[in-house]
Amino acid sequence: MLSERGWCRRFPLALSLLLFGTVPLHAQSAPLAAKKPHVTEIHGYRRVDDYFWLRDKDSSEVLSYLAAEEAYANAMEQGEAGLRDTLYAEMLGRIKETDQNVPYPRGGYFYYSRTEEGKQYPIYARRRGSMTAPEQVTLDLNAMAGERPFISVGAYEPADGGRKLAYTVDTTGFRQYALFVKDLTSGVISGPLASRVTSVTWATDGKTLFYTQEDSVTKRSHRFFRHELGSGKHELLYEETDELYGIYTYRTRSSGYVLLLIGSATTSEVRYLPANRPSDTLRVVAPRIDEQEYYVEHVGSRFYIRTNDTGRTFRLVTAPVRDPGRSNWTEVIPNRPDVMLEDVDGFSDHLVTTEREEGLVHFRVRNLEAGDPRDVSFPEPTYAVYASDNYQFATPEFRFVYTSLITPTSVYDYNVKTGARTLLKQQPVLGGYDPGNYASERIWAAAGDGARIPISLVYRKELVRNGQRPMLLGGYGSYGIPNDVFFSSNNVSLLDRGLVIATAHVRGGGEMGKPWHDGGRMMTKRNTFDDFIAASEYLIAQGYTSPDRLVITGGSAGGLLMGAVTNMRPDLYRAVVTYVPFVDVMNTMLDASLPLTVGEYLEWGNPNEKAAYDYMVSYSPYDNISAQAYPAILVRSSLNDSQVMYWEPAKYVAKLRSLKTDSNPLLFKIKLQPGGHGGASGRYDRLRDVAFDYAFILSQLPPPPAMP
């Protein structure tokens, strides 16, 4: 007998819809979810949620509804099949399918990954001593995946001496990683040593592992273990009981210390033990103080500590390892209100700091003995740059990755002694891509309270600002994460069809440091949405686009942004593409058993407090859907997403269908097969998804002006 789930898959859409009481007249009829009122009472309010029942992942009724939405989305976009195929072929044609990334030295080997034409996943490999030595494949994800539709590697940590490899694997998309150790001499792989592993590092003996593990329900990383291979024992060294905090372990570049980082959204603490004495007890660098963060690097006999104890943009201090408490902190770099000290990389005789000023990153190199610091700056008006695979401690080379809206991803070695930059590889873009055909710029919009909002743009140089160009405008604005701009060869398909591609760097993100985050979280969260609307209005006023040509996009917390601004100003936008959107803010934040909820009280607020509840409900997208006309909307999700549960977008779409007054498309694409917060894991599968999304965008827009 067929299972209920199997029945839903094998029988036609109209029959499967019988399970939830809606039979369409034809394949293009939109699914309508049943209303089953669920009542919650809090703060004297009576909340009624008609679609709460969609949370039951094991229900055949729920699965049938989701399958119907997926089928409806595919049917509605069937007319764009030719365009999708064209876009897919274009985008695939720009990719060098058989390729290899830049090898990096680590412990006597050169490690790298490579891809092969026709294969979905990378192959991880290494060569001993030089790149002319024989290749040894360490992990082949294609072979590991087999017939599975999803696979993702989390940790990838070779042991000292290179004889063993610790790695973690998720095959569901739910970010539940199992820990394995592979003997790289014999090829023998252990059985799973632990489940729900969030980070891994080695002691220097090559046989002792340290790892962190998450809670099985809330997915909060909270336990720290020591495990000696072959012993069968997993010793719990630390458990974080405060639900606001998560933990993560790593080893310093110097190989001197194993660190345990304990952090909330606003406070952190670091514990440590010598990497060559793995049986030692953990010591604390400095006890946590509420609303103060610090992060630790090690060089010689000292810790270098990046901290925001005297200012939100951080300063750098140093302390002796033997007694690193706050009373022994000596300032190296003072706090500068207009410069965000984002990171510190320590090497045997120099430091490299990552600093952000006016939203743009530069590096600064400091010799530990003497000499003035040297800036490493970049010429384009908007770009992204970040430290890369720097595993060598005693080296004059600092490796970084540079990219922009026009410049493909480029890997450089920077010589800290001479200041010379060596380009090791620029990602090839096949098919005749010419960066000279495009221009990028960064402009500033004014928010209602006077804040200056940076906007990054790229377009074909033949831009006439007469409002006739279509635009794809993205945004994020949460967790203090900078929404930096990157090159994408896929975007050429939109640029060459006349679109302007833009990113609004709104408050709540980290583009201008911690103060920018503070300006768009908790009881200032509405600034994020107001900033995005102000950016949209400015782009229209300056003639870059017009409301009937403006498409917006964002994912996860950026999906919250999409939902909020679409409720607030639907007249500004022609279409919306939103990915795994966090839109059911109130129900999620009222459920402390869900992954991420409690820790995120410091981002959104705790709705069990009435003032926070009232503020959050004022913008929660699901709670503010109304009977009005909305833009065309494409929503994407995955059944196994562990960060934004599938039911948030499912409920959002169901409520939109019941209330919106327009006839614009509303499509819900949900991966019912394994898939995660980032969608599909295979590169060709992801490319098919991009082609679908781009075809949807183009189908909603009027023809752009002819391109030369």
pLDDT of 372 > 90? The answer is no
- For residues 5 and 541, the model is more confident at 541
Q: Which two tokens stand for residue 594?
A: 């869900």
556 is annotated as an active-site residue: yes
CA separation for the pair 520, 260 (Å, rounded): 29
Task: Kindly report, residue by residue over 62-79, the tens digit of the pLDDT.
Answer: 999 999 999 999 999 999
pLDDT tens-digit map of 498-533: 999 999 999 999 999 999 999 999 999 999 999 999
Check pLDDT > 50 for residue 296. yes
Percent of the chain residues topping a pLDDT of 90: 92
| Mean local confidence (pLDDT), 429-458 | 97
Q: Among this protein's residues, is 641 annotated catalytic?
A: yes
Superfamily for 441-625+648-657+680-697? Alpha/Beta hydrolase fold, catalytic domain (3.40.50.1820)
Of 556, 637, 638, 681, catalytic: 556
Residue whose tokens read 């080695």: 202
593: CB partners within 8 A, 6+ apart: 217, 218
pLDDT score at 705: 74
What's the number of CA atoms in the CB half-sphere (13 Å) around residue 311? 14
Residue 11 has pLDDT above 50, yes or no: no
Q: Where are the domains of the chain?
A: 1-76, 441-625+648-657+680-697
Whether the pLDDT of residue 673 is over 90: the answer is: no
Pairing verdict, β 471-475 and 550-555: parallel
pLDDT, greater one: 20 or 331: 331
Looking at residue 16, its pLDDT comes to 32
pLDDT digits (tens, 9 = 90+) for 14-38: 323 323 333 333 346 899 999 999 9
Q: Contact 583/648 with Cβ under 8 angstroms?
A: yes
Task: Give residue 50's pLDDT.
Answer: 98
Structure pTM? 0.93
> Considering 227, 298, 350, 677, which one is annotated as catalytic?
677
| β-bridge partners, 414 | 398, 421
Query: pLDDT band for position 703 (50/70/90)?
Result: confident
Q: pLDDT value at position 707?
A: 67
Q: What is the dihedral of CA 620, 624, 628, 632, to 10 degrees?
A: 20
Q: Residue 680: what pLDDT? A: 84
pLDDT at 530: 98
What integer pLDDT is reported at residue 462 of this predicted model?
Answer: 87
Is residue 170 within 8 Å of residue 177, measured between CB atoms? yes
Conformation bin of residue 580: beta by default, left when phi > 0, alpha when psi is -120 to 50: left
What is the H or E stretch that residue 363 is in?
Answer: strand 360-367
The pLDDT of residue 708: 62
pLDDT tens profile 78-111: 999 999 999 999 999 999 999 999 999 999 999 9
Phi and psi angles of residue 315, each rounded to the nearest 5 degrees, phi first: -135, 175
Give the per-residue pLDDT at 674. 86
DSSP, res 598: G
Alpha-carbon distance of 582 to 623, in angstroms, equals: 12
Q: Which residues contact 34 (CB under 8 A, 6 or more apart)?
A: 20, 21, 22, 53
Chain segment 580-595, per-residue pLDDT in tens: 999 999 999 999 999 8
What's residue 3's pLDDT? 31
Among 343, 641, 689, 693, the one annotated catalytic:
641
CB 371 within 8 A of CB 302: no
Residue identified by tokens 């129900």 is 587
Which pLDDT score, from 0 to 100, does residue 21 have?
35
Indicate whether 220 pLDDT > 60: yes
Calpha distance 467→469 (Å, rounded): 6
